[in-house]
Amino acid sequence: MSNHIDCQLKVEGTTARLEELKSSIIKVCKKNYEVDLKLLIQDKLGIKSYDFMTEEDGHLFEVLENSFENFNLNLNGDTFYEWVGSVRFADTAIWVENDWQKFILDDETLIVKFTAAWTPPIAEILLGSLNYPDLKFILSWQSLVDMDRYGTIEGINGCFKAVENKI
């Protein structure tokens, strides 16, 4: 993957829950906004395979096999489990380009556009879906350098699948 990935996060649910999510991941600053997914994942560092877990990891990582179903990720031909491997940290750097400033919140949908570094924030979105089990998350991405590198995943409460690209 290239080092600049355009992303669109669409979340569907009730207005109250979307407002709660928006206030935890979006900081509005005058004409701009910032996206921070750290509160979405709460205190987790990432996703780790059961075979590599230690006692100290119990509260820091979500166990891959216990929390998520495997699916064809369509990211370099990997399945989700292959992409995670032994561990996948939820530390994607995210910024908002001034010329792509846009987030929308209506009665049943929150849409946020941002740029991620190196990889789309898949781990963050799946972890966040566990903290907001009643919301449907749809993450679409496209590489700015390798335009043929793109994808979309959608799901609820850790159950995701790859779908036709929606960006």
pTM of the predicted model, to two decimals?
Answer: 0.90
Question: Mean pLDDT over residues 63-70, rounded?
Answer: 93
Q: Number of folded domains in the chain?
A: 1
pLDDT at 80: 92
Residue 14's domain comprises 5-163
Between 63 and 26, name the one with better pLDDT.
Answer: 63
pLDDT of residue 148: 66
Q: What is the DSSP string of the chain?
A: --S-EEEEEEEES-HHHHHHHHHHHEEEETTEEEE--HHHHTT--EEE-GGG--GGGTTTEEEHHHH----EEEETTEEHHHHHTTEEES---EE--GGG--EEE-SSEEEEEEEESSS--HHHHHHHHHHSTTSEEEEEEEESSSTT-EEEEEEETTEEEEES---
Each residue's pLDDT tens digit, 81-97: 999 999 999 888 888 76
Is residue 152 pLDDT above 70, yes or no? yes
